[in-house]
Each structure stands twice: as C-alpha cells, then as structure tokens.
Chain A
Amino acid sequence: MADLTSNFIGIKSPNPFWLASAPPTDKKYNVERAYEAGWGGVVWKTLGAEGPPIVNVSGPRYGAIFGADRRLLGLNNIELITDRPLEINLREIKEVKRKWRDRALVISLMVPCEEEHWKAILSQIEDTEADGVELNFGCPHGMAERGMGSAVGQVPEYIEMVTRWVKQYSRMPCIVKLTPNITSILPPAMAAHRGGADAVSLINTIKSITNVDLDNFSPFPMIDGQGSHGGYCGPAVKPIALNMVGEIARFPETRGMPISGIGGVTTWRDAAEFLAMGAGNVQVCTAAMTYGFKVVQEMISGLSAYLDEKEMTLDQLVGRAVPNFVEWQNLNLNYVTKAHINQDDCIKCGRCYAACEDTSHQAIAMGPGRVFTVKDEECVACNLCVNVCPVEDCITMVPMAKGTLDPRTGRNVGDYADWTTHPNNPMSSAAAE
C-alpha cells in the first residue's frame, strides 16, 4: 500500500481526499461520519458573519442531469451558506477537531467585503484550533446577489484585497476558492497569489439551469412555480475543472502555487487525474452526496494501488502531466494515427459507421455480415468512432511510423513540426525568415 499521507500547505491528513465545503460538512454529525468512513479532511460548510443566520428555501434545493439508469452526472444546487447560528458551528468545529487530531479541518468563510467583517470572523474562529481557512469566492447563486461569493471571485482586485486582510488578521493557512464563472481563471488566481494566499482551490460550482419543467414552464429546481439559477457540479463539470487547474499549474506567474482540485471527482482515477494536472489534494462533494461517505474507501484503495503499480509517491504524481499540457499550436502536426477496429471485440452495433458516415469523414466501410473496417485513405483520426463505440478498446488509434506513407495525404509521416512553423500559417516563424 502506497503512503497516501498528505501535507497540503502544512495541513496534514492521512490521505489527500477532503470533503468540500458543502451540505455534507454542515455539522458535527456529518463530519464525524465522514472521518469514520476514512476521509482525510473536510472543509466545513461556509460560515457567515455573526447575526441572524441566513435562510434557505424550503422547496427543492437540487436539480440533476442523469445518464443511463439514472446515474447522476450533474447536480445543481441553490442552497446557501450554513443556516445554523455561528456559535453552534464554532463549538462543534472545536469539538470535532479535538477529537480527530489526525484529520484536516478547514473552515470556509464568506462575509461581506468589508475589512471589519473579515477581522471579526477571523478572531472568532481562531479559538477553534481549525487547520486553516478557505475563502468562499465561488458560490454563484444567492449570496452573489448580496455582493459575496462569486461576486467577489469575479473581481480580481477584491480577491487580492480580501486575501490580504485574511493574511493580515490571521496566522492560519489561507486557501482561496475560485469561481469558474469567469472568462479566464488566471487573473483571479494571480490576484489570490498577489494577496498572499497559501493556495487556491477550484472549481466552485458553475451557474446553471439543469432543466425546465415542461408542465409549469419554470426552471428547475422549481420553487412555487419559479426557478433561479443554481451552481452545477458533479462528474459533468470535471473537464472544465481539470482545464482550469492545469492552466494555473502551468502559467508562469502562478506555477508552484498549491492547488486543491475540485470538480466532479467521483473515483480514484478522477482524483489521480487532478493530482497529475497539478492539484496537491482533491476535494469531493457530489460523489459523497450520491453514494455516501463510504466512496472514499474505493478512492483510497484505487489511488494507492495505482501509485504502487507506477512505483511512484504521491508527491511524484502531483503535476506530472503539467509539462505535457501545451497550447494547440505546439501540437505535432506530423503525428499521424489511424483508427483500427478489432474485429474480435466488435459487437457489430454500427455506431462507429453511423457517426463517421453521417457526421464525419466517411472513413468506415460496412461490409457483408456487418463487418466494419476503417478506410485509412479517409481517416483523419478524429477519434469519434472510439468515443461512440460501446466496447472499450475495441477501436484504437494506431500511430503510423515515421517515414511511412499516409494514404490520406499521400505524404510520408515526418518529424515533429507544429503550427508555428507550418507553411499555411501566415505568422509562421519559418515563413517570417
């Protein structure tokens, strides 16, 4: 068993799997159940300023997107920050932390964008012995209308300003949680960096409407015939999160800043992918909400087995894919592959044929007896057939050896060459010479 012990910005946990700030971490009862199940850490559900607690709707708070067999692929929520009194949360946090010394416990915070509010809350939480704070600059619904959450995360200057206050009034490690509801993730990340954040965590949820009720003509979740946008999360958002994590990990100004990866982590494999893209740990919510806290056990065993198989430590995995995350213009245009259909594995459904014939390059032939074969002279290696094939690895992309003739272009496969030097590129460096 590989050692999964994690040290994220000085916060130690037995594994890199934390529960994200969300309904599962709203109170002592849930958090203790999570620790019992094996979670390495939790980010306590966002606390607000002292005073009357916020109010949640009493109608549906979630909407969902499903795959086959009602597998939950995407979850949308309109729940706000904790609606329990601050003092109860603080008391419970202290109790839990004292009882579970080996686990990470970070407190998520969201108070109005004024210095005294942040100063006050930081002094109130100091005494909880929590391991750190996470600044919720991400929630896109409800609180954003009140100038908090993503309303702050969308303005880099605010991010920098608040982060400075936090670092000024607290000695706790500070994680800035970023919203994906922006054009580029880099300015907010750079702002957090400038403000002195110890790490960023991302992504928070994405503004969304999961569906429209076609009888009542209202977005869903529907509250008394009306709906508001929610925050989208779950497996469906993983690709968006991976890209944003990778962008921060490779960008010169933010490179090396610790990242807590969030967004659709459902299995050990998802977690490993986030780590390889530069995340130092991961935070999970939807998978736990869908399957219960026990899912972490599969994540632990899976990641551990993977590291053993690769003879790698956790630290060696972190960021391993970042150098290979490049701009399109740097991709090798002389890399040629062709789809290949393994006839032994083919179940003859013809989906590859329909996809290629109707929507792509007419590069798959359908022969007698429903035998499907690739026409190399037409195949541009788009990979659509691989993606629509129901049998994993039945269709593969086989690279052509250097020097062999590509029957589609009539040219031999050459050495590495990318768009920057391509003759068709008016800006090409070769053309400029």
Chain B
Amino acid sequence: MPNSPLTPGIVPARLSRDAIARNFSDHEPPFDQHEARVAADRCYFCHDAPCMTACPTEIDIPLFIRQIATGTPEAAAKTIWSQNILGGICARVCPTETLCEEVCVRETAEGKPVEIGRLQRYATDIAMEKGHPFTRAPATGKRVAVVGAGPAGLACAHRLAMKGHEVTVYERRAKAGGLNEYGIASYKATGGFAAREVEWLLSIGGISLQLGAALGRDITLDQLRADYDAVFLGIGLQGVNALRAEGEDKQGVANAVDFIAELRQSPDLMGLAVGRDVVVVGGGMTAVDAAVQAKLLGAENVTIVYRRGQEKMSASTHEQEHAVQAGVRIIHNAAPLRVLGNGRIEGVEFAYTQDGPDGLVLLPETFQLKADQLFKAIGQTLTGAPEAAEQKGGKISGLPAKVWAGGDCAAGGEDLTVTAVAEGRDAAEAIHGQLAAQ
C-alpha cells in the first residue's frame, strides 16, 4: 500500500506525484501584461514616496511602476536593479506587507496597497530574459575578496565588478545564492530561479566564484587581507539555536533550516521523507516555511508552537495567514519542556507561558503534542566569524582595516534578503570609495 498522510513515522511520498507538483508550484503566479498594467495604474506616483523610504534598498518604486504602466518593463527592471541587483528574488521573498506595501498610500486609503512585489517580479522576469543590462567600468586593477555568496556577498561583488574591480567570491557550500538557494520556501522561487539569477548576475563578468571554500578551513581572513585590496564578509548566520529542552537529541529532531535546505536541493520531492505529526518550534519565517512545506509534502498534522503571543511573532501576519490557510495550526504562548519517546521522538511536552513585565514565565499547566518529527526554528546564530571581528549582540560590529561586513552576520538592519542586498551594495560603494582614493 502506498504511503498517505496517515502513514506513521517519517516517510516519503505521502501524496501523489501530481499533488506534490501542484503544492510546490508558484504560490503567487506572475502577472500577465494586462494584470500588470491594471496593477500599475493604481500607483499614485507619490511625492517622496513612502514605499521608497520603506524599501531597505530604496528602489524608486513610483518610477518603475510608471515605466511598467507605459509599456517599458525593461526600463522598469533597470530602475529596480540599479538599486537592488537581486530585485528578482526580492520580488518573490520580500515581506512586502511589512515594507513597501505596508506604507503604500493605497493601503491607507482603501486597505489594498499597490502590488509592488508582484509588479517588481513582472518587470524583472521580462528583462532577465533579455540578458544582463549593466556593463563594467574600465578595469581598475584592484582585487577584492568576498566571503559568502549569499545576497550580501553577491550584491557587493556585482557592484564592485561594475566599478571595474576584480572580485573573487568564496563560498563554503556547493552552490552560490546563500539563503536564496538553500533557505527559502520552494514555492516562492520555483523553476530554479535562485540559481538562474546568480548566473545572470555573474554574467556581468569580473567575478570568479570559488565554491567549497570555507572561511577558517580553506581560507583565512589574514591571508585574504594580504592577498586582496579589500575583503567583504557576508557569511550569514550559520549556527542554529538549541531548544534547551530535555531529550533534544532524540531521533526525529532536526533543524528547520536543514529541512528547508534539503527540500530545496531535493531532485525529487517524492523521495523526501516527512513525519505524520510534525511540530515546529519557533515564530519566524523559517518556522512558517518549514511548517507549510511539511504540510505540502503530506504531513497529517503540522503545528507551530511559539513561546510568546501572536503579536510577537517575527513572521508577518501575511505569512501566518498563509500557514493557517495551508492547514498549519499555530499555538501561541507555549514553550517546550521535553521531547518524549524512547530514542525516537514520540511527542513533545509543552508548558504554557505568560509574557509579563518580568519576562516570560512558565506556567504550571502543560500539554503534550504527538510528534514523530520536530523542527527547531528558534533563530540562527553567528558562527565561524574570524577572531579579528569584534562582536556585539551576536553580530559582527567591528573589523580591522580593509575589511567590511554585511548581511545577516553584521550588526544593523533586519535579517532580510533585501537588507543584505542593501548592505552588500553599500559596502561595495564604500570599498570603491576607498580604493579610488588610493
């Protein structure tokens, strides 16, 4: 008998091949030309537009939307990319409901913002097909090392290459893209989009990619500083917080980020095993992405348990609604006490919590959830940062001369793809400024 959502344990192929394909197709299909024109027509072309201010990369949103409205999506894409070279993936994964679209005056006026994210995708999708729109400045003879081929590193590398510098990007994993490639829900970037975007970005030239090169193992900061005119660190947050609950080492307990990465890299989702009763502990986008995808793979029961109230969840309301719509149950104000089971997880015991002026208090009332799989999604941590980097609050806060940092590993800004792009780009401008002054 084939597996179904009711099959106990962690097993593959709980749903039919068709159902899996349907579940993991583009969850927000692209606009066609007519839809894009109608959506673009709604933009008021605001003065000093609030959307632009809310965008960490400060894309000139009213301008690119007007360019779409007037039938020039390629010009629109160039407006986007001149600020955010990863505008394609950002159009798909940005929590626009808490950024540009949240402050759209149409949201104020009628509760329905201009669909900026989808318009951005429309323009960048069309223009990406036409090749790479930027060219490099004359060669400067300067060489820069970029550590980490995630959004920050790629944005930095591209801007430096544009300015005429030679860039080498070191990446510890087998593929470039960072969280775009390994860390976001599959249905947000279908069709290998992250990899295509990297290839398109690199086609500007002047960037060489060294895959499988980890900082501290294959390369050191000291050596890079000696070999290059400048170094940019975009190493992200590679560690995962522990549950700090009894029995965390039982079989069936895994990191949500690893599950998401495995799913993203899986050549055939029919081969990917998932539990019948899945519990995800955490309250951010990673928790939502893991939970929704577990459900889409055919888990019968998927529950997100978050230790604080709904309003404290870092996943946006939009993301939470998306999870609930997918059939995920969200329990607030409960913290894990112990993982139950004999060697293999069978359930999780939680205590209810109360968030008060003295912090989070565990209440005596407890409950148990049946579980054959548990994903930890309670935040990532900075690991593998070079000794020379000063740290504050778990982020890189100070660096020696010739070294810059950006993205999730660096202090300042939210841990978002778009913020990483902005920081990478700005670091490149700073590096260029310094190299040009030499």
Q: Determine the residue in chain B with the shortest Cβ distance to A354.
A: B47
Cβ-defined partner of B47 (8 Å) among A353, A390, A391 = A353
Query: Which of chain A's residues have a CB closer than 8 A to the CB of B48?
Result: 350, 366, 370
Minimal beta-carbon separation of B137 from chain A (angstroms): 33
Contact A348/B108 with A69-B38, A370-B50 known, Cβ cut-off 8 Å: yes
Query: CB within 8 Å of A: which of B415-432?
Result: none
Task: Evaluate contact between A351 and B47: CB separation under 8 angstroms.
Answer: yes
Q: Determine the residue in chain B with the shortest Cβ distance to A348.
A: B105
A-B contact pairs, 30 of them (CB 8 A): A68-B41, A68-B42, A69-B37, A69-B38, A70-B37, A347-B105, A347-B106, A347-B108, A347-B109, A348-B50, A348-B105, A348-B108, A349-B44, A349-B46, A349-B47, A349-B105, A350-B46, A350-B48, A350-B49, A351-B44, A351-B46, A351-B47, A353-B47, A366-B47, A366-B48, A370-B48, A390-B44, A390-B105, A390-B109, A391-B109
What does the 1/0 interface line of A318-357 toward B look like (CB < 8 Å)?
0000000000000000000000000000011111011000
List 6 A-B pairs, minimum CB-CB distance, nearest first: A350-B47, A354-B47, A68-B41, A347-B105, A349-B46, A347-B108
Question: Once the chains are docked, how many angstroms separate the CA of A349 from the CA of B107?
Answer: 11
The answer to whether the Cβ of B45 comes within 8 Å of any Cβ in the partner chain is yes
Query: Which of chain A's residues have a CB closer than 8 A to the CB of B109?
Result: 347, 390-391
Minimal beta-carbon separation of B118 from chain A (angstroms): 16
Interface residues, chain B, with chain A CB atoms under 8 Å away: 37-38, 41-42, 44-50, 105-106, 108-109
Minimal beta-carbon separation of A347 from chain B (angstroms): 4
Interface residues on A, range: 10 to 19
Query: Which of chain A's residues have a CB closer than 8 A to the CB of B49?
Result: 350
Question: Once the chains are docked, how many angstroms separate the CA of A70 from the CA of B69?
Answer: 11
Q: Which of B47, B106, B108, B109 has the most CB of A within 10 A?
A: B47
Q: Determine the residue in chain A with the shortest Cβ distance to B62.
A: A349
Minimal beta-carbon separation of B106 from chain A (angstroms): 8
Query: Which of chain B's residues have a CB closer than 8 A to the CB of A349?
Result: 44, 46-47, 105
Query: Which of chain A's residues have a CB closer than 8 A to the CB of B105?
Result: 347-349, 390
What does the 1/0 interface line of A108-139 toward B look like (CB < 8 Å)?
00000000000000000000000000000000
Q: Determine the residue in chain A with the shortest Cβ distance to B103.
A: A348
Question: Once the chains are docked, how many angstroms separate the CA of A391 from the CA of B44?
Answer: 11
Minimal beta-carbon separation of B67 from chain A (angstroms): 16
Question: Once the chains are docked, how many angstroms separate the CA of A77 from the CA of B262?
Answer: 62
Minimal beta-carbon separation of A366 from chain B (angstroms): 8
Minimal beta-carbon separation of A211 from chain B (angstroms): 13
Q: Determine the residue in chain B with the shortest Cβ distance to A389.
A: B44
What does the 1/0 interface line of A347-374 toward B look like (CB < 8 Å)?
1111101100000000000100010000
Minimal beta-carbon separation of B60 from chain A (angstroms): 15
Minimal beta-carbon separation of B263 from chain A (angstroms): 40
Q: Determine the residue in chain B with the shortest Cβ distance to A68.
A: B41
Query: Which of chain B's residues have a CB closer than 8 A to the CB of A391?
Result: 109
Question: Once the chains are docked, how many angstroms separate the CA of A70 from the CA of B41?
Answer: 9
Query: Which of chain A's residues have a CB closer than 8 A to the CB of B108?
Result: 347-348
Query: Which of chain B's residues have a CB closer than 8 A to the CB of A370?
Result: 48, 50
Q: Determine the residue in chain A with the shortest Cβ distance to B69.
A: A68
Query: CB within 8 Å of B: which of A65-100?
Result: 68-70
Query: Which of chain B's residues have a CB closer than 8 A to the CB of A70?
Result: 37
Q: Determine the residue in chain A with the shortest Cβ distance to B48.
A: A350
Contact A351/B41 with A370-B50, A390-B109 known, Cβ cut-off 8 Å: no
Query: Which of chain B's residues have a CB closer than 8 A to the CB of A351?
Result: 44-47
Question: Once the chains are docked, how many angstroms separate the CA of A347 from the CA of B46?
Answer: 10
Question: Once the chains are docked, how many angstroms separate the CA of A72 from the CA of B47?
Answer: 27
Minimal beta-carbon separation of B18 from chain A (angstroms): 37
Query: Which of chain B's residues have a CB closer than 8 A to the CB of A353?
Result: 47
Question: Once the chains are docked, how many angstroms separate the CA of A391 from the CA of B109?
Answer: 8
Minimal beta-carbon separation of B70 from chain A (angstroms): 12
Question: Once the chains are docked, how many angstroms separate the CA of A348 from the CA of B103?
Answer: 10
Query: Which of chain A's residues have a CB closer than 8 A to the CB of B50?
Result: 348, 370
Question: Once the chains are docked, how many angstroms separate the CA of A351 from the CA of B106?
Answer: 13
Question: Once the chains are docked, how many angstroms separate the CA of A353 from the CA of B38?
Answer: 26
What does the 1/0 interface line of A128-165 toward B look like (CB < 8 Å)?
00000000000000000000000000000000000000
In the complex, besides A69-B38, A350-B49, 12 extra interface pairs with C-beta distance below 8 angstroms are: A68-B41, A70-B37, A349-B44, A349-B47, A350-B47, A351-B46, A351-B47, A353-B47, A354-B47, A370-B48, A370-B50, A390-B109
Minimal beta-carbon separation of B203 from chain A (angstroms): 30
Question: Once the chains are docked, how many angstroms separate the CA of A347 from the CA of B50?
Answer: 11
Question: Once the chains are docked, how many angstroms separate the CA of A391 from the CA of B46?
Answer: 13
Query: Which of chain B's residues have a CB closer than 8 A to the CB of A390?
Result: 44, 105, 109
Query: Which of chain A's residues have a CB closer than 8 A to the CB of B45?
Result: 351
Q: Determine the residue in chain B with the shortest Cβ distance to A346.
A: B108
Question: Once the chains are docked, how many angstroms separate the CA of A366 from the CA of B47?
Answer: 10
Query: Which of chain B's residues have a CB closer than 8 A to the CB of A354?
Result: 47
Question: Once the chains are docked, how many angstroms separate the CA of A71 from the CA of B343?
Answer: 67
Question: Once the chains are docked, how many angstroms separate the CA of A366 from the CA of B50?
Answer: 13
Query: Which of chain A's residues have a CB closer than 8 A to the CB of B41?
Result: 68-69
Q: Determine the residue in chain A with the shortest Cβ distance to B38.
A: A69
Question: Once the chains are docked, how many angstroms separate the CA of A348 from the CA of B37?
Answer: 24
Query: Which of chain A's residues have a CB closer than 8 A to the CB of B47?
Result: 349-351, 353-354, 366
Minimal beta-carbon separation of B100 from chain A (angstroms): 14
Query: Which of chain A's residues have a CB closer than 8 A to the CB of B37?
Result: 69-70
Query: Which of chain B's residues have a CB closer than 8 A to the CB of A350?
Result: 46-49
Question: Once the chains are docked, how many angstroms separate the CA of A353 from the CA of B47?
Answer: 7
Q: Determine the residue in chain B with the shortest Cβ distance to A353.
A: B47
Q: Determine the residue in chain B with the shortest Cβ distance to A350.
A: B47
Minimal beta-carbon separation of B411 from chain A (angstroms): 27
Question: Once the chains are docked, how many angstroms separate the CA of A348 from the CA of B106?
Answer: 10
Query: CB within 8 Å of B: which of A203-220?
Result: none
Query: Which of chain B's residues have a CB closer than 8 A to the CB of A366?
Result: 47-48
Q: Which of B41, B105, B106 has the most CB of A within 10 A?
A: B105
Question: Once the chains are docked, how many angstroms separate the CA of A366 from the CA of B41?
Answer: 25
Query: Which of chain B's residues have a CB closer than 8 A to the CB of A69?
Result: 37-38, 41
Question: Once the chains are docked, how many angstroms separate the CA of A390 from the CA of B110?
Answer: 12
Minimal beta-carbon separation of A350 from chain B (angstroms): 3
Question: Once the chains are docked, how many angstroms separate the CA of A351 from the CA of B38?
Answer: 20
Minimal beta-carbon separation of B40 from chain A (angstroms): 9
Question: Once the chains are docked, how many angstroms separate the CA of A259 from the CA of B424?
Answer: 70
Query: Which of chain A's residues have a CB closer than 8 A to the CB of B46?
Result: 348-351
What does the 1/0 interface line of A191-229 toward B look like (CB < 8 Å)?
000000000000000000000000000000000000000
